[in-house]
Structure 1
Amino acid sequence: MPTVAMPRAMSYYYLYPFFAAFFEHIGVDLIVSPPTTKQTLNKMEVCPTDEPCLAVKLLFAHAQELLDAGHKQLLVPCLVSMEPKNFCCPKFIGVPYMVKHALSKKIKIHIPEINLFANRDDWKESFVRIGSSFNVGRQRVLRALREAWRAQDLYELACVDQRLTGPEAFAYLRGQKPCRREHPQDTPAVGVIGHPYILYDTFTIDILKSFRDYGKVITAEMVPAAEARRQVAGLLEGERLWSFEARILGAALYLLRNNLVQKLVLVGSFECGPESVIEGYVEDEAARRGVPFLLLTVDEHTGEAGLQTRIEAFMDVQPLESLKTAGRPDENRPLEVSAATVPGVRAEEFIIGMPTMGHLDVAIRSALVECGIKSLKTPHASKEILELGKELAPEFVCLPFTITLGQMRWLLQNGATNILMVGGKGKCRLGWYAQIQDQLLRKIGHDFNMLIIDSPFPLGERWSNFRSVIKRTTRDASWLKILRALYFGYHKMAAIDEAERICHRIRAFESKRGSVDRLFRRFIRDIENASLTETVWGLARDFREAAAAIPLEDTNPVRVRIVGEIWVVLEAYVNHHLEEMLGRYEDPRVWVDREISATSWFHQHLFPTRKATERKHVIKEAANRYLGTDPGGHGHKSVGLTALAGSEGIDGIIHLMPFTCMPEIVAQNIMVKMSQELDIPVLTFIITDQTGEAGFETRVEAFLDILKDRAPQDPALNSKSHLTPKLNVSPRR
């Protein structure tokens, strides 16, 4: 019988019954790697980068163990969506491609994709392809998929009915009788929730055993999925929370609201992005119920002694007297579900504040003025703003969240009564920023309206909410006035982005350094003050003409492409004014290529143009060779723009990403191999609040020295050695 091997990590802990049944019904033996040992931990170094969370690194280690054991075919699923309205964490989407590029030359990797978003069925074709590789026909594969779902349903039923953990349910379905530990009636019940690949992988200690020494333990699998989902549905757009995190959060809310536990523990891994979103909801609910709460964060360096000490100390904490007995809820009492919070209209003065990204607030504030709405100027990112955000932000949330939270706090302290923020639940955390920030700001006493603008597409599903928020934001202005305002704001945004592209080019060739930067700063001041669209057009024309008049020289620059997460790419404070820094270098001169902008995002996602759509397709096709499914954010674009670099005359890539950014962690991991295969230097900066300017600039200098050494020594061999008066420069080939 042919065999395929599955790493004992991530998807295994959620979907092993599904995959075991599927391969059994197509006549393939599914082998699972042994439990984690110290030797396994030593193999985590096969992961090309340090940034992925522990779960991803363990998957790499288990894959390597299977390779070392002689297995030739590996199964690493791509989990895009487990339900029609939400996605899985970007790491579940990207990890098979991360492993593929680290090990693909040594082993065949099967990547079945599950994607139930919008009730799609095309994901089944990936299983059909796997079946065909084992000479199994399409109809047999589809029957095997139906049996696989039945097996998964039986597993979930066993967890609930028999009060079993995932591994216990695996064993139970194989005919093993579960080993139960009896506790006295008054023994406290402890809810221990978290991803099963953390709870049940004994890389440090057996966490569940440690808590079972004190009393009964209830885990997320023991809560019916329908009840967990019902609890999460009470949150604003809770149905769009990541699938597995929704199950964890819903189970925690169910246990707390129905008095089923006297203590609650959330076990997570260092750098887990979705956990930084759900932990606040769990902690707040536990506080409201008077239930002691513990957040245990673990990684490969977590010591057994320290964990055990924290568990012992936590179990000594006493809950409120009224909650000392835990039992089943009254069956006649309806289960509690919080109502979704929808901001209303405040009676006092209506003043809008908004976090920003680059110069985007200039365009938005201008549009608001056109609608007669008063707004506050957004403070630029700074140390003061960072500290305001850090005081409130969750520990492992990304830097964009923290600084935009700081900007919101400053705006509220300075008179804003409404905060305007983007929404849009997707694969990365951005869509949850506004809700979590709203909670954190209210905790310290701010009373305000959070106006969350989401995409209007698809119109049938999203238009009503979009229309409502636009009308509240503009105080019910007419649609004619709103459209004129948006038209005006768009032209400011487009003018600024065009001016920045001109600066990127001129800096590389100007005779007198800093000429175009002085011109640009004056241009921004004039654009901010412009009150008519015609004025904006005139200012843009004047800037182009003034820039064209700047004296140039033949400098033979290197071309550096900047890719990464859009916020850190556009926010000069957090990237240490990277574009201006590159523009100051004399040897070599640098021509920056930065395709990511507010305007390009607008044209590719909201109001597509033909040119933008074609370019988006080119980038996607290039990325798909290395990352077959989009993990969200700008991760796919980072990979695609890197793949295109050589053919588009780019000499090197600078990749910017916030610490813990899930999509960019996926991209960075793959780009390590791409850099080697495509012979394109890549410099990645992981931006945190601790990123120092001196070290940043030192790394940039070293990177530019590499690019300079790689450049052709004979100017005649370099197609950029000749300049036309209009700076129509061909890139190096």
Structure 2
Amino acid sequence: MSYRVGIPRGLAYYYLFPFMKGFLSTLGAEVVVSPLSDALTVEAMNCCPTDEPCVSVKLYFAHAKRLVDAGVDYLFIPVLSSVEKDNYCCPKIIGAAAMIRNGLGLQEEQVLAPEWNEREKPGTWRHNLLAVASRLGAGRELGEAAIRAGLAEQAASEKLALEGLTLPEVYHRLYGIDKPRRQRFDPGAQYDGQQVIGVLGHPYVLYDLAGHHVVDRLREYGQVITAEMVPGEDCRQEVATLYEGTRMWAYEARILGAGFSLLRKGIINKLVLVEAFECGPASVIESFLEEEAAKLVIPFLLLTVDEHTGEAGLVTRLEAFIDTSTNLKNNPSKDKDSFCIPAARSEKLKIGAPGMGLLDIALETVLNECKVEMVPTPPVTKRTVELGKELAPEFICYPLVTTLGQIWEVLEQGANTIVMVGGKGRCRFGWYAQLQELLLKRVDLDFRLIIIDSPLPWRERWPSFRQALREATNNAPLWLIARGLYLGYHKMAALDQAEKLLRRKRAYESRRGAADKVWRDFVKRIKKTASVRETARIFKTFQEELAAIPEIAIRPLRVKIIGEIYTVLESFVNQEIERFLASRPELRVEVVRDLSATQWFDLNVLRRRREVNIYEAVIAAAAPYLNVCVGGHGQESVGEVVLAAREGYDGVIQLLPFTCMPEIVAQNILVPLSEKLDLPFLSLVINEKTDTVGWETRLEAFLEVLAERREKLALPAWR
């Protein structure tokens, strides 16, 4: 039996279509590609459950829906977690299959979603493809032949691209599809053979609707070179000049490496980067490309596009850019170490660091034990945000903006060394440190950066972790560092446990605000304590003082907070949401939050059995809806909502910073899922422009919904 297998024209299509075509055709399937984006595609974009994803994801939803409406038997949407051993892919590409399945209400068997995960499960992609072959009625031998055919066609397409063909031209040459239009965009354009323009960006942006034919337009003025025309090995070599550059997202590394190669080898005299509005990885690589172009005096143009981008304005910017004069250096310096961590300094060590909630108390404790001066981390304020926004890329996530501003502030207060956590993964967090160093040094701030990454796995990561600890603690002996870590951990655990008790007490206290007063005194005492025993004594006193506060007999609304960890823990960023919810005049609300610094440390560093068991239960709950990790706490957010429905919560609130990739994946699954679970759900997207009044109005309206629902269910009174 021959099956009709649909391939949405977007995302992975622009990277792996030759493989998919060769694989599926060999299996005897009829391959159906959705039509080129047109007015009907734009109209179908409203099937995307939320407005937060980039335009490419919205278009992907539309293309998938058109295939489903056309009656294909299956959609083929590969789960590209990791296509190379050192890095991951963008969370939205990882989560595309799950978003489409949940967003369009498809059955699991309707989507063929083999996973590639070379970083964590190397080689299993072959097994996953054989499983797809089996579902299509093919045996192992034919499945293996199909894989070989797919690999051969992929190699052929990459070879053609190196001859100077764009991907649409390659696909037309190989399969006769989508014949390139010979349209004249600017009748007055003068072609200049000396003009060589690098045009970078994801092909699913450059060659789809939002790209407005940028490549073809620029070809009327000169030669255009795109990322697919640069040898992969050249790209890998150039991106490796960045600190941990080989761990950048695979396709973004290809774009960035191509840009470095074209710039450093003097091949181009202009560079254009086209990125989708809200594209997370692009917001990181744009700064590195802009810096390199500026260093080599190459004109650089950043074009950010979405479904609302007007063609006229884009064309005007392109034409103005073409008229920009160039000053290409004859022998540009490659400056291979331009973004590496600088060498140690000789002056007295004064550490500064951004914070997250009350985590800076633990860090200061460790450094005090090691006799290292730490400049106190200032709380996030409006000025902090303004400083960060002055330097940050426009569409970078909010946590980078606030932590960037905090680093600037501690440098103003005398810090000469910044400690920042690292860890390259699926989300942007692991690139914060390097990006912040680059941005701050543009305004001539002089400092040394120390990146502390996870020590796990021990055999691989311990040497670099130990070295970072030595630098941050002024070569303190390991036993002293361990003592500081032990005390810092206990302070952090005491604060998190106390805050958990505080959240419960707020819902029951007879006199509003009494628990918060006890909490503030407790935090002051914990900051000053110098021993684990004293920490335990202070915590016990806090428990007693909290217990002494009279309570009223009531059954409060129970609301669970989930989402991106920084946004959940940083009270200025989330506008004191926990306090706000718990202080409504006529309502009693118990806020429950499982995320904390201690919980993260116990799970990811200490691997405590209790936290591992809880995590596994959350992931199991998420699996029917999102069965792969998309980075951050995206998968956990889905699992938490499923468990919240089972445990009888009145509602769930998701907090995510604007453009947060993992939480956007979760959000697009949770919107339809919450309806299915009959669980009130509110997703709040936060950035520096979030209006307090509007924010509070939405929260109050949500609580009213919960209260009315409680009454309709005829549950006991809560007032």
Smaller-chain TM-score bracket: over 0.9
**Residue identity in the other structure for 1:208:** V
Deviations 1:530-572 (A, max 9, x none): 1111111100111111111111111210110000000010111
Q: Look up the match of 1:171.
A: 172
In structure 1, the residue corresponding to 2:508 is in which secondary structure? Answer: coil
Q: Map residues 130-529 of structure 1 onto 2, 5 A cutoff.
A: 130-160=132-162, 162-174=163-175, 186-203=193-210, 205-320=212-327, 337-338=336-337, 341-529=340-528
Consecutive unaligned residues of structure 1, counting only runs of 5 or more, are 324-328, 723-733
Q: How far did 1:454 drift?
A: 0.3
Once residues 414 and 497 of structure 1 are traced to their aligned partners in structure 2, the CA distance between those partners, rounded to angstroms, is 28
Matches within 5 A, 1:693-712: 693-712=692-711
Q: Name the counterpart of 1:730.
A: none
Q: Secondary structure at the match of 1:348?
A: coil
| CA deviation map 1:437-470 (0-9, x unaligned) | 0011111111111111000111222111101000
Percent of aligned pairs with the same amino acid: 45
Give the aligned CA root-mean-square deviation in angstroms.
2.2
**Aligned residue number for residue 728 of structure 1:** none
For 1:583 and 1:135, the matched residues in 2 are separated by: 57
Question: Cα deviations across residues 62-83 of structure 1 (Å, max 9, x unaligned)?
Answer: 1111123232321122111110
1:674 aligns to what?
673
Q: Over residues 334-368 of structure 1, what are the superposed CA-to-partner deviations in whole Å (9 max), with x where a residue is unaligned?
A: 98744661232211121101100000001110111
Where does residue 39 of structure 1 map in the other structure? 40
Q: How many residues align?
A: 711
Instruction: State the 1:588 CA deviation.
Output: 2.7
- For 1:562-641, list aligned pairs within 5 A: 562-641=561-640
Give the 3-state SS of the residue equivalent to 1:117 in structure 2.
coil
Equivalent residues of 1:258, 1:336 under 8 A apart: no
Partner of 1:731: none
Q: What's the secondary structure of 1:711's corresponding residue?
A: helix
CA contact (8 A) 2:190 2:221 kept: no
Aligned amino acid, residue 217 of structure 1: V
The alpha-carbon distance between structure 1 residues 94 and 144, as it changes in their structure 2 partners (threshold 3 A), is same
Aligned to 1:644: 643
Q: Equivalent residue of 1:516, what SS?
A: helix
Give 1:122 deviation, angstroms.
Answer: 2.4
Q: Distance in 2 between matches of 1:390 and 1:178?
A: 41
1:559-586 CA distances to partner (integer Å, 9 max, x unpaired)? Answer: 1000000001011111111111111124
CA deviation vs aligned residue, 1:202-229 (integer Å, no higher than 9, x gap): 3462111110110111000000000001
CA distance 1:714–1:279, shift in 2 (3 Å): closer
d(CA) in 1 for partners of 2:352, 2:529: 20
Equivalent of 1:121, from 117, 120, 123? 123
Q: Which amino acid is the alignment partner of residue 40 of structure 2? A: Q
Q: Distance between the aligned counterparts of 2:453 and 2:140, measured in 1? A: 40
Q: Which secondary structure does the structure 2 equivalent of 1:5 belong to?
A: strand
For 1:77, the aligned partner's letter is P
Relative to structure 1, the CA distance from residue 483 to residue 705 in structure 2 (aligned partners, 3 Å threshold; closer, same or farther) is: same
Tell me the CA shift for residue 721 of structure 1. 8.1
Q: Is the 8 A contact 1:378 1:411 kept in 2?
A: yes
Counterparts of residues 74-85 of structure 1 (less than 5 Å): 74-85=75-86
Contact 1:257 1:336 in 2 (8 A): no
Measured in 2, the distance between the counterparts of 1:482 and 1:289 equals 44
Please report how far the alpha carbon of residue 518 of structure 1 lies from its aligned counterpart in structure 2 after TM superposition: 0.3
CA separation of 1:55 and 1:423: change in aligned 2, threshold 3 A: same
Q: 1:59 to 1:336 in 2, by over 3 A?
A: same
- Per-residue displacement from partner, 1:412-453 (whole Å, max 9, x unpaired)? 011001111110000000000000000111111111111110
Q: Secondary structure at the match of 2:80?
A: strand
- C-alpha change, 1:78 and 1:118, in structure 2 (3 Å) is closer
The runs of 4+ residues in structure 1 deviating greater than 4 Å are: 175-185, 333-340, 712-715
Distance in 1, Cα, partners of 2:180 & 2:56: 27
Contact (CA 8 Å) 1:172, 1:178: kept in 2 or not? no
Confirm or deny: 8 A CA contact 2:582 2:589 kept in the other structure. yes
2:652 partner amino acid: I
TM-score (norm 1): 0.94
Report deviation, 1:480: 0.7
Q: In the alignment, residue 153 of structure 1 is paired with which amino acid? A: A
- Hey, what's the Cα distance between the residues in 1 that align with 2:403 and 2:554? 39
Is the contact made by 2:562 and 2:568 (CA closer than 8 Å) also made in structure 1?
Answer: yes
Instruction: Check the 8 A contact 2:8/2:60 in 1, yes or no.
Output: yes
Q: Is the 8 Å Cα contact of residues 36 and 203 (structure 1) preserved in structure 2?
A: no
> Counterpart of 2:641 in 1: which secondary structure?
helix
Indicate the residue corresponding to 2:99 in structure 1: 98
The answer for the alignment partner of 1:53 in structure 2 is 54
- Provide the residue aligned with 1:561 in structure 2: 560
Structure 2 CA distance for partners of 1:218 and 1:249, relative to 1, 3 Å: same
Kept in 2: contact 1:227–1:251 (CA 8 A): yes
Q: 2: CA distance between counterparts of 1:712 and 1:302?
A: 46
Asked if the contact 2:27/2:138 (under 8 Å) is kept, the reply is yes
Asked whether the 8 Å contact 1:230–1:337 carries over to 2, the reply is: no
Q: Distance in 1 between matches of 2:55 and 2:554?
A: 47
Maintained 8 Å contact 2:210/2:309? no
Task: State the shift of 1:40 in Å.
Answer: 0.9
